[in-house]
């Protein structure tokens, strides 16, 4: 009887930590894709929905941008994206309400009329509030081509 219990317990542990994506991981990665769409569509209301009130983004040059900065850049048209796409993403889930996502983002567009096309490595910290994911903090490092 003890052997059967041990085998059942091991099976539960192995399934719990299997490399297959869990529902939460899929939800987190879908959230990341939806957040990209909010930037691509220059949709301030969508950004207000996905970014926490105290959101910060640390840029490659060490500058820190806030939720207000990000929304205003899109609202004023100073920043326009033709491409905003995350890829090679990996999600790490911590409990029921925190996740860290690592990946790469390709962005292409214009900033104050000047074209840009770059790839960055990102780390996003997500929290789940009121049953939905939000982006609390991000960090990007430029990848040289």
Sign of torsion, CA 92 53 44 122? negative
Q: Any idea which residue has 């690592």 for tokens? A: 102
Domain range list for the chain: 22-143
Q: What is the pLDDT of residue 145?
A: 64
CA distance linking residue 66 with residue 97, whole number of Å: 22
Asked if 122 and 138 touch (Cβ cutoff 8 Å), the reply is yes
User: What percent of the chain lies above the pLDDT cut of 90?
Assistant: 80
Going by their DSSP bridges, the two strands 64-66 and 79-94 should be labelled as: unpaired
Residue-averaged pLDDT of the chain? 88
Q: What is the mean pLDDT of residues 94-116?
A: 96
Q: Where are the beta strands (DSSP E) in the chain?
A: 51-58, 64-66, 79-94, 98-111, 114-129, 132-143
Fold of 22-143: Nuclear Transport Factor 2; Chain: A, (3.10.450)
Q: Contact, 89 vs 65, CB < 8 A?
A: no
At 11, the pLDDT band (50, 70, 90 cuts) reads very low
Q: Which tens digit of pLDDT belongs to each residue from 15-60?
A: 444 455 677 899 999 999 999 999 999 999 999 999 999 999 999 9
Q: What is the pTM of this model?
A: 0.82
pLDDT digits (tens, 9 = 90+) for 65-76: 999 999 999 899
Reported confidence tier of residue 89, pLDDT bands at 50, 70, 90: very high
């Amino acid at each position: 009887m003890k052997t059967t219990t041990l085998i059942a317990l091991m099976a539960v542990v192995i399934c719990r930590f299997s490399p297959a994506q869990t529902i939460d991981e899929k939800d987190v990665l879908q959230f990341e894709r939806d957040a990209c769409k909010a930037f691509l569509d220059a949709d301030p209301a969508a950004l207000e929905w996905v970014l926490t009130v105290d959101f910060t983004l640390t840029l490659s040059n060490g500058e820190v941008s806030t939720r207000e900065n990000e929304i205003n850049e899109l609202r004023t048209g100073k920043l326009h994206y033709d491409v905003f796409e995350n890829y090679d993403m990996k999600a790490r889930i911590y409990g029921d309400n925190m996740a860290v996502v690592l990946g790469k983002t390709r962005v292409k567009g214009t900033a104050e009329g000047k074209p840009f096309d770059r790839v960055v490595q990102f780390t996003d910290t997500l929290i789940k509030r009121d049953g939905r994911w939000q982006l609390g903090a991000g960090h990007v490092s430029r990848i040289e081509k």
